[in-house]
Amino acid sequence: MKTTVVSREYKELQSKIIKLQESWKNSVHADGVNPNLDKAAMAAGVPVVALADIHFEIPLFLQWIKELEELLVNQNPALSASFEILNDKLTETVAHQWIEEALSFNQSYFNEFARETGLEEWLPYFLAESAVRPYLQILAEKAQPEIHKAEPRCGCQVCGEPVRIAQLEGEGQKVVYCPRCTVHWRDKRVACSHCGNNDHKTVENMNVEGEAAAQIQVCEKCHGYTKVIDTRQYITKPTVAILDLTTIHLDFIAQERGYTSGGSPKGKN
Ligand SMILES: [Zn+2]
Ligand SMILES: [Zn+2]
């Protein structure tokens, strides 16, 4: 199996953004981020973020967008015209809306925003998503002691992100990590982390040429995939965001073969 090449520029930009997010996280008042761990809601697959009490600091949010602007324009000067438009449009009210829509994965809101303002289609969602992550990560740290599993087909129990990466730890235990909020939970070694299927005949571990420490676990029932990385073989263990980024070629391999992160939509199996 061949590995697909991902542009070095893309990886460099993403790793710079991850570094920014780590520093942003330190500037948030963690007291303003409070999960409301409602067991019934969690059992029903409602992500913790939906019921959390979070005080979003809008000046910080706008500052982070500025820092992203600097990074993106530096890489692609043509984007400066878009940021000129955006700086007019992105009021405090709009910023609140962006946060709300990013947390509920409302891509169509952002597509519409881009269309109305004449911005690149990817830009508003990309910015909003990048700037909500520090809050999600603080929320995940606070919720972590109560996160022991994910409900089938509901994604990450804190933020709702579809599963796509797990690490082998200790004796070979599979631990699923959310690359968006960083929360983690244990799962069976041979089980689909999307739909819960644990039939050995339909959950398969694919080896990838040249990858001694990585497999792609695929499920023939829901057509979901999970990258399973044996980070015990790493000298320095990267953060999950970096691990997800450096293994992005595995996502392409899985997707080329018709598997999706998240599996097929709920109820469609
Ligand atoms: Zn998450
Ligand atoms: Zn499955």
pLDDT reported for residue 266: 42
CA 140 – ligand 1 centroid, Å: 7
- Mean pLDDT value across the chain: 94
Please list the helix, strand and coil fractions of the chain in percent, rounded to the nearest 5, in that order. 50, 15, 40
Estimate to the nearest angstrom the gap between the alpha carbon of 47 and the chain centroid.
14
CA 164 – ligand 2 centroid, Å: 12
**Secondary structure E strands in the chain:** 33-34, 53-54, 165-169, 173-177, 184-187, 203-207, 214-219, 225-229
CA 163 – ligand 2 centroid, Å: 11
Q: What whole-number distance in Å separates Cα of residue 69 and Cα of residue 244?
A: 23
Helices and strands, counts by H and E, the chain: 10, 8
Q: What whole-number distance in Å separates Cα of residue 132 and Cα of residue 73?
A: 20
What is the dihedral angle through the alpha carbons of 230, 236, 239, 240, rounded to the nearest 10 degrees? -10
pLDDT reported for residue 6: 67
Task: State which residues have CB under 5 angstroms from ligand 2, the bound ion.
Answer: 192, 194-195, 197, 219, 221-222, 224, 263
Per-residue pLDDT of the chain (269 residues; tens, 9 = 90+): 444 456 888 899 999 999 999 999 999 999 999 999 999 999 999 999 999 999 999 999 999 999 999 999 999 999 999 999 999 999 999 999 999 999 999 999 999 999 999 999 999 999 999 999 999 999 999 999 999 999 999 999 999 999 999 999 999 999 999 999 999 999 999 999 999 999 999 999 999 999 999 999 999 999 999 999 999 999 999 999 999 999 999 999 999 999 999 876 543 43
CA 255 – ligand 2 centroid, Å: 15
Q: Which ligand is nearest to the CA of 143?
A: 1
pLDDT reported for residue 7: 81
Amino acid identity, position 221: K
Q: What whole-number distance in Å separates Cα of residue 229 and Cα of residue 150?
A: 19
pLDDT reported for residue 5: 56
Q: Which ligand is nearest to the CA of 192?
A: 2
CA 261 – ligand 2 centroid, Å: 10
pLDDT reported for residue 134: 97
